[in-house]
Structures are given as C-alpha cells and as structure tokens.
Amino acid sequence: MLKVENLHKSYQVGKNTYEVLKGVSLNVEQGEFVAVMGPSGSGKTTLLNCISCYIPADSGSIRLGGTELARLGEDELAEVRNRKLGFVFQDFLLLDGLTVEQNILLPAIIGGSVSADVENRASQLCEVFGIAAIKGKYPAEISGGEKQRTAVARALINNPLVILADEPTGNLDSKSSRAVIGTFEQAKSGLGSTIFMVTHDSFAASFCDRVIILRDGVVWRTLEKRDAERTAFQDALLASISEMGRQ
Amino acid sequence: MRSFYEVCAVLRRRNAKQYALLAGCCFFSVLLITAYVCMMRSPTVLSVLPEGGDSRKQVMMIFVLAVIGCAVFTTYAAGLFLRQRSRELGIFMALGASRAQVRGVLQRELAGVSVISCVLGAALGMPLAWALWSLFRTFLVDTQEMALRFDYRAYILSAIFSLFVILTTLSLGARSVRRTNIIDIVHEQHRSEPVREVPRRWGAIGIVLVLVGVFLGYMSSNFFILVLHWYPPEGLSAVFYAPALVGLYMLLLHTVVNGWGGRRRKYRDLISTSMMKFQGRQTVRNMLVITVLVAGAYFGSFYIPMIGTGAMMRYDAREYDYLYFHRADQDIPGEDEVRALAREYGVEITSFAEASTALLAVDGTHTVEVDGPMGVTWYPEYIEVFTAERFLSESDFNALTGQALDVPAGQAAAVLDSDGSTGYGFDTGISIVTNYLTGERLDVTPYQGAALRYQSLAQHYVLDDADFELITRGLTDEWREHKVVFNVENDEQTYDFAKALFNEIVDRSGPEVEVYDSWDPVIRDRNLAEDGYYFLDRESLEEAGEVTIDYTQRDSSNFRLSWKYMPQFRVLDKADFVKTTAVYLMLFVFVAIVCFSAVMVIAYTRCMTIALTNRQVYEDLRRLGAPGKYLYRSVRGQVKRVFFVPIFTGTLIIYVFYLMIMYFNGSPAGITGDEAAGLLASIGVIAGVSALLYGIYRLTLGKVCSSLSVKRRT
Ligand SMILES: Nc1ncnc2c1ncn2[C@@H]1O[C@H](COP(=O)(O)OP(=O)(O)OP(=O)(O)O)[C@@H](O)[C@H]1O
Ligand SMILES: [Mg+2]
C-alpha cells in the first residue's frame, strides 16, 4: 500500500545543511497498523511530511497504492490528500476561526461533499472522543488534549484509506488514548484503512502490528507483533528502546 | 455551513481587522497620491511653478518620494496580510484543497479589498486636495489666483498608481500560495527574516558615508559645471548621493541589530534588541523609508521659513519705506501727485528724494555652450558688452542716501546688500562701461574705498559725477530710469495708500515695460543677432506656453516677484508676501502633510506588526515572571527605535543639508544674517512637527501596550 524507498531529506539553515533522512526504506501493507518510534529529532515528523508531499523530498520514491506520488499533478495530489489521506498533525493545525465541529468537517467541506451522513459521522466521532460537549467552542477555548482529539476526528471524517498520525496520543490520558487507538482499529477492520502512526508511547505502539524504529535518519530496527500478547510486545519494545539508548 | 465559500466567509468575519488594515493602507496610499497628483497637476499650481525651475523639480522629487513611500508601505501591508492568512491557507492545502481552489478564494478577496479601497481612495483624493486647499484659503490667505482648478488628466497618474497597488497585492497573493512546501506556508506567520551579525563599526561608517554622500551629491554638479565646464546629464548628480543612502542603511542596521547603548546594556536590552533583529530586514527598510520621507517633508517645510524670514529681513533692511522707479519715458506719478494721494489717505510724508539712473552696458564673462560627444560643455568667453546695469552719479547717490560719497574718476563703486552680499549675477569687478547707443566707452577699476552697502540701491554702480555725465551723454529716455524714494509716518498703517499708489503706477505703465526683471536690452540684441529670438520677449514666452508678465495679473506672485519695475513698498510687500507666495506655501505645506502622514502610518503599522508577531514572547516573559516594568521598558524600547531613530536621522540630515546649501550659495561662502534667521525659523518648524510626531509616538506606544496587555508606566 505504502512503499518508501531510499528517502533522503535535508534542511538548509543558513550555510549549513542538516541531513535528517538518510535513506529511509519501508513498506506498509494494506490494512496494516504500523507505528514509528524514535528519539526526538530523529526525523519522524519529517518522514510523515514527505510521505504526504507537504514538503518536497530530496530523493527517493514514495508510492501510495502503486502510484508514485512525485509524479502526480497538483490537483491529483490535492485529491489524494483530501480523499485518501487522513493526517493528524503533531501541532494539530486547527483553524482558530472555526469551531471544533466546523474544524472536524473541514476536509469534507473542502472536498465539496457535506451530506447529512457526514454531519452524522462528525457527531459520532465527537461522541466517541468525548468532545461532543465542546463542539461549539473555538480552539483557543479548549485544552491541549481536546485539540488533539479534534485533530484526530478531523483526520477520520472522510473515511481515509491511509491515516498518517503524528503522535495522536501525545497529550492524552490513557482513556482518551484508548479511544483514539480504538477508532484507528475500527477504521482498520471496518474500512480496511492503513494506519501509519508516529508515537513515543510504547503503550499505544503495542497495539500495532509492527513498529519501525528510526534512528539517525535510517530505519534502525523493525519489530513485528505477530501473535504475541500486547503486553509481551510492549515489553519487547521497551527492551529495544533501552538497547538503543545504551548504544 | 456546508461549502468552502461559507467557511471563507466565516473566517473573513473573524479576521475583519486584518482586512481592514489592508484596505486602510491601500485606501490611504491611493488617497494621498491622488490628492498630491491633483494638486501637482492643477493648472493653478503649474502656473506658479516655472517649467524646468527648481521648485517644480523639488515638487516632482518629493512626489517621487511619496510614491515610493506609499508603494513600500502598501506592499508591506499586503505582505503582512498574507502572512497572517498563510496559516489558514496552508491548512486548507494540507487538508487537500487544491492550489487553484485556494488561490481562487485568496485572489477574489484580495481583488475585492484592493479594488474597492483604491477606487474609494482615488474618488476621495480630489475632494481631499480641494478641502485642504480651501482650509488654507480660509485660514491663511486667499487671492484670486488661488482658486484651485483641477486637471482631470491627473487621474491618469492616480489610476496608474492604483493599478500598481492592485497588481502588487494580487501578485504577492499568487506568490504566497505558489510554494510547494505546504508546511512552510503553514508556518509562514512565525518565520522571520533575521539580520545577520553587523559589525559595531557600521554605525560610525554609516554616519561618515551619509555626510560624504550629502556633500558629494550637493557639490558634484558644481564640480562638473564650474571645474569640468560640463553640464552633466539630468540625474547624474543623484548618483553621488548614493553613498548617503548606503550609509543610512548601515546606520539603521547597526541601530536595529546592535543598538547604540554599548556593551554595558547588553542584557538589559537583550529581549527588545533580539526581537528587532528578527523583524530585522523589514524594520530596517521601513525605517529607511521613514527617514527619507521625513527628510523630504522637511525639505518642503523649510522652503517657506527660509524664504520668508529672508524676505522679511530684506524688507526691514530697506532704508526707505517707499521706493519706486521707472523708465524715464513712462508717465508715472511725480512728487505732487504722490503728496496729493498721501493727503487723501491721511498719510504724512516725512522725507522725499528723487534721482535718475542710467542703463549702461558692462563687460563680463559669457558662457558659451557647445554640444559635443560628451553632451553639453561650456567655455567662458569674455565680452566687452555683456549686460545692461543701473548706474548712478555720486551726487544722485548722495541725494538719495544722505551720504557724502566721492568716487574718484575712473572707478566704479558697486553697491552691495545691507548685509554685504552681492546678490545673484552681480559683478563687482567690472572694467568697461559702454554707452550702448553712442558706443562711448569708459574704462574703470573697482572703487578703492570701503564697500558700499545700501539695501534700497543694491546692485547699482556709482560713478564719479564727471564720468557719469560724459558716458551717459546721448542716452535716450529708454535708457534712463527715474527713481523716487520717500518715508512716511507710521509706515505699518499705510497699506491702503501703498496699494493705491501701486495700482496707479501699474495703470500708467505702457505695454513696452510689461516685462520680466531679467529682461535685458543688451542681451536681447545679442540673442536676436545670434539666434533670431529672445526668450524673454512676450511672443517667445507665449509661444513656449510660459507665463508672461501681465498687468491684469498684478496681484499674482509671478507679477509681484518678477516685474521689472515692481515698486518696493515695505508695507505692501510685507502684507502681501504670504499672499504672493501662497501657492508655494500651500504646495509645500501640502507636501509636508502628505509625507508626514505617510511617516505616521508607516511607523504606526510597523509598531503594530512588531506587537502582533511578538505577542507570544510577551506572554511567555510574563509567565517567566518578568516584572511589568521590564515588559514596558522593552515595548517602549522597540517603539522608540522605530520612531526616533529614523525621524531623528532624517531631520538631522536635511538640516545639515540645508546648512550646507546656505553656506555655499551666494558669494562669498558663509551664512548671511537672513539665512541665519531662516535657519532659526526652520528649527521652529522642526520643533512644531516634532511635537506632533511625539504625540503620535505616545499614541502608538499606548496602542502597542494595550494590544500586548502591558501596563503603561510613566
Ligand atoms: N523546517 C526545518 N528547518 C530546519 N531544520 C528542521 C526543520 N524541521 C525540522 N528540522 C530538524 O530536523 C530534525 C528532525 O525533525 P523532526 O521534526 O522530523 O523530528 P521528530 O523525529 O519528529 O522529533 P519529535 O519526536 O521531537 O517530534 C530535527 O533535528 C529538527 O531540528
Ligand atoms: Mg515530530
């Protein structure tokens, strides 16, 4: 479904060039729930931004369902973002001028298809994430966790095939985290969505089928859950992370 | 809310202030430019500013400044607007809105805002010009020639400027969504253009460059013309001002990045300095524009006090309350008539004297212009019969002045102004005097005694009685003038009498003397012989579309300032000075208003921008426990820098420039009494304007403080 090959990305700051992604390759199957972990600054957000073509990559290839994204025209790319991708940003990127509900509906509005069905779905998502009571509030008036849940609901409104989530549970208590993970699992089982989630949280990651660990701009290790228990998988994750810390 | 259009409408309502600021800036700049153009192209004004004359050039120059200023600040306003909107647009695109969709919305909004505000600004520009003009007419002066007429072609320039504003706004809009990096678009608002480190010596180098540039720029054309004998192409000397601009940029950069406080205050001002640094380039450019506009505005404002004080002092320096003179073939009022008229007006004449003067040709150096491969160059050519000048015999001089001057035979004594300056084009060292009719010639040397200073007879020559008698023999009345001087009791209260006498003199003057004061029969003959025409002849002037001297326009500034036989009645001149120079006064005051308003708007919006972009910083500082006093000081530090540095620099530069002009103009170099008075009066203008600007500064500071919720302290 999602195939990244030998991706390179560097940032230019003044005269200095910082290479952040140094040849990342990975493969995510349709309907797979994958987590990306790695130390802060290892390039996780950069990777997600490159995958959705928000920032241009220096080299390498990104294929989504067989199409090379770099080859798409602007309008086609916009269409892909709107219909097929759901993106949860690390810093939420909610519009300050719109209410929580309006923010959630925004991708549907941009796509030009706001039916009663979509509105129902928005209400449903609000219920699931426990933000129904604050639907009419503006982003400036809600908490960080509420913003995060709003951002997740917005990513899900168009029933995307691929969800790219940058730390969707970073600000949440365990109950809210479970709700987010739960909806991702639902999207996976109900719609066959593919989920690609960046997280620092081994608890959230332990729900995934596979965890990719990034370090110094390359894939350091991939852990597969297979048929392991969730807690056992979490322990394996923690062991890997502490191993990485020791090196 | 189901459509993208509705979303945009909601956001528009939430962001009304941003739209208002952009609309306001477009409106204001088009309004100012339109008003200025209407004024500048008005036939009323054009008739006063001679074609190719210095004052028209100045008006043009300041117009260019105003256009640059307005263009810069609308560009910034559009940039600021797009920055504020970029987050929204970026999020739209991140969520899958196509570029075309976003661009469509943005361009429609920008076009709407800019077109409406430009049209409104252009529509109100002419009424504004008219209103300002009327205000002046009501409160200052009102003469017939001041009725403001408009040339509707002025709107072509205004339309061009509006088009520029609209197109810039739209193209900036297009550029802002063109980028492929969507994350950059989202974060555009927080991106700053930090200036890199600036060596501390840039401040000093900047000052030196400014001084050098101003000096070079001013002196270059003199150098070309006087030393190289070459008339440089128009605009070349502007190049020599370039170091001044570079220096100014360095100076402002140093001020913004390093500040002038020295190292001791490094930490105290860390926050405000570092914030300025991150606003860097834009702030510096804004400050540059403010500096230039302040300089331009003052340049215009000084004109009136400089001319005015000088003129008033020259009027006061006149030895006689009343002086008139005329060609001897004209029938003008004699002593009896004047006394009768005085009685009629209840004016008492305390002394009365008459004398006759003769027009004689003198030698001089003529500049011959040649068209060469380099453009126009010139070489000096000495000719024995150069111009016609006024001569007095020593006894007539003594009769008028009450002195006992004795000029030795063979000497010519030049009369200087009361402060010892010679006046334009007056040669104190003539050596040949010629009777233009008979060709009789007298060789003279300059008078050896103490220099003669007499305001009422300045620019005359005095000859020994016998010499005078001999050389003027055979002159017809056309070459002789009659001079009448008298004093009256309570000079200040004799305006009506002065006016009546003036009208009487003009009424009785013939068409043959309806000429400019620089009309010279000797030059005329030479020009006619060489070129076939004389540019000061009525027909030549009319052909060239120039204003002529016209008895029916006797109250116009042109007539009062330039008629060859304009009487010198102190009370009349003083009372009418403001009137006769009213159009100049209005124009320059208007220019000053335009420039200073632009300065205020630019400084205000810049400060508000700094406040907007740094709101988070102040929030954080407060959370970190910064005391209110510290916050206030840091806010004030920034607002102060935006206001004071460019305004102070601009003021200083233009004042030094004026000092230099005053010092080097006229010969000998130096500051004469009336120039000193003019310079003092200019300081008065500076004080007044500075007080106004200080008020705006306080207002802005208040606004910025309240927008950052920082308490204002005294
Ligand atoms: N726009 C940018 N310009 C320059 N450098 C950048 C930019 N964005 C990110 N970086 C640098 O690239 C590196 C990777 O950043 P990235 O945001 O991808 O890290 P991350 O893995 O998401 O970290 P975190 O877990 O803290 O979110 C960091 O060192 C960061 O400083
Ligand atoms: Mg990140």
Query: Which of the listed residues B163, B191, B219 is the one where a domain comes to its end?
Result: B191
Same domain, B150 and B226: no
> In chain B, how many domains are there?
3
The reported pLDDT for the residue numbered A205 is: 93
The reported pLDDT for the residue numbered B682 is: 87
Task: Tell me which residue of A36, A47, A72, A51 sits closest to A1, measured CA to CA.
Answer: A51
C-beta atoms of A81 and B14 within 8 A: no
Chain A interface residues (partner B, CB cutoff 8 A): 49, 52, 54-56, 74-75, 78-83, 85, 87, 89, 93-98, 102, 105-107, 109-112, 114, 154
The reported pLDDT for the residue numbered A124 is: 92
C-beta atoms of A78 and B98 within 8 A: yes
H-only helix segments in chain A: 44-51, 74-83, 100-111, 116-129, 144-156, 174-191, 202-205, 230-246
Same domain, B232 and B160: no
Same domain, B10 and B150: yes
CA distance A234 to chain B (A): 33
C-beta atoms of A93 and B94 within 8 A: yes
**At a CB cut-off of 8 Å and minimum separation 6, what does B577 contact?**
B308, B311, B312, B315
- How many Å lie between the centroid of ligand 2 and the Cα of residue B465? 104
C-beta atoms of A74 and B99 within 8 A: yes
Query: Which of the listed residues B417, B449, B484 is the one where a domain comes to its end?
Result: B484
B441 is a domain residue: yes
Same domain, B172 and B26: yes
Judging contacts by C-beta atoms under 8 Å, the chain B residues touching residue A101 are none
Atom 3 (ligand 1) nearest CA: A11
H-only helix segments in B495-564: 495-507, 521-531, 538-543, 557-562
Residue B98 and residue A74 in contact, taking contact as beta carbons nearer than 8 Å: yes
Q: Is the dihedral of CA A222, A223, A224, A230 positive or negative?
A: negative
Same domain, B133 and B224: no
B624 is a domain residue: no
Query: Strands A210-215 and A218-224, how do they pair?
Result: antiparallel
Please state, for a pLDDT cut of 90, what percent of chain A lies above it.
Answer: 64
Collapsed DSSP state (helix, strand, coil) of residue B432:
strand
Same domain, B177 and B123: yes
Of B7, B100, B180, the CB nearest to A106: B7
pLDDT digits (tens, 9 = 90+) for A72-104: 888 899 999 999 999 999 888 999 889 999 999
CA distance B4 to chain A (A): 6
Task: Tell me which residue of B178, B179, B176, B175 sits closest to B189, measured CA to CA.
Answer: B176
Residue B203 and residue B251 in contact, taking contact as beta carbons nearer than 8 Å: yes
C-beta atoms of A82 and B97 within 8 A: yes
The reported pLDDT for the residue numbered B51 is: 63
Same domain, B471 and B397: yes
Atom 7 (ligand 1) nearest CA: A11
Judging contacts by C-beta atoms under 8 Å, the chain B residues touching residue A49 are 183
Q: What is the count of residue pairs from A and B with beta carbons less than 8 Å apart?
A: 83
The reported pLDDT for the residue numbered A236 is: 92
The reported pLDDT for the residue numbered B274 is: 64
Chosen from B95, B179, B193 to mutate, greatest number of chain A CBs within 10 A: B95
Atom 6 (ligand 1) nearest CA: A11
CA distance A230 to chain B (A): 33
Judging contacts by C-beta atoms under 8 Å, the chain A residues touching residue B94 are 52, 54, 81, 87, 89, 93
Question: Domain range spanning residue B217?
Answer: 199-257
Query: Which of the listed residues B461, B484, B507 is the one where a domain comes to its end?
Result: B484
Same domain, B155 and B227: no
Question: Which chain A residue has its CA at the smallest distance from B101's CA?
Answer: A110
The reported pLDDT for the residue numbered B18 is: 85
Task: Tell me which residue of B651, B707, B39 sits closest to B296, measured CA to CA.
Answer: B651
B539 is a domain residue: no
Same domain, B462 and B357: yes
B410 is a domain residue: yes
Same domain, B246 and B171: no
Same domain, B108 and B246: no
B5 is a domain residue: yes
Return the structure tokens found at A77.
């790319």
Q: What is the mean pLDDT of chain A?
A: 91
Pocket of ligand 1 from Cβ distances under 6 Å: A 11, 13, 18, 20, 38, 40-46, 90
Residue B298 and residue B655 in contact, taking contact as beta carbons nearer than 8 Å: yes
Same domain, B8 and B137: yes
CA of A21, nearest ligand number: 1
Task: Tell me which residue of B254, B295, B253 sits closest to B64, measured CA to CA.
Answer: B295
Of B11, B98, B186, the CB nearest to A75: B98
B653 is a domain residue: no
The torsion defined by the Cα of A185, A188, A189 and A190, in degrees rounded to 10, comes to: 110
Count of CA atoms in the C-beta half-sphere (13 A) of B225: 13
pTM as predicted: 0.73
Provide ipTM, 2 decimals: 0.94
**Average pLDDT per consecutive 10 residues, chain B (714 residues; last block may be shorter):** 86 89 90 86 73 68 76 81 88 92 92 95 91 76 66 87 94 88 79 68 89 83 76 73 86 78 57 62 79 83 78 85 92 92 94 93 86 79 91 92 91 87 80 93 91 89 94 92 92 90 94 91 91 88 84 82 91 79 71 77 80 78 82 84 87 86 71 80 90 91 86 74
The reported pLDDT for the residue numbered B361 is: 94
B322 is a domain residue: no
Please tell me the distance from the alpha carbon of residue B312 to that of residue B307, in angstroms, as a whole number.
Answer: 9
B293 is a domain residue: no
Please tell me the distance from the alpha carbon of residue B666 to that of residue B421, in angstroms, as a whole number.
Answer: 7
Q: Give whole-number Cα distances, B144 to B507, B554, B556, B580, in Å.
A: 19, 11, 8, 11
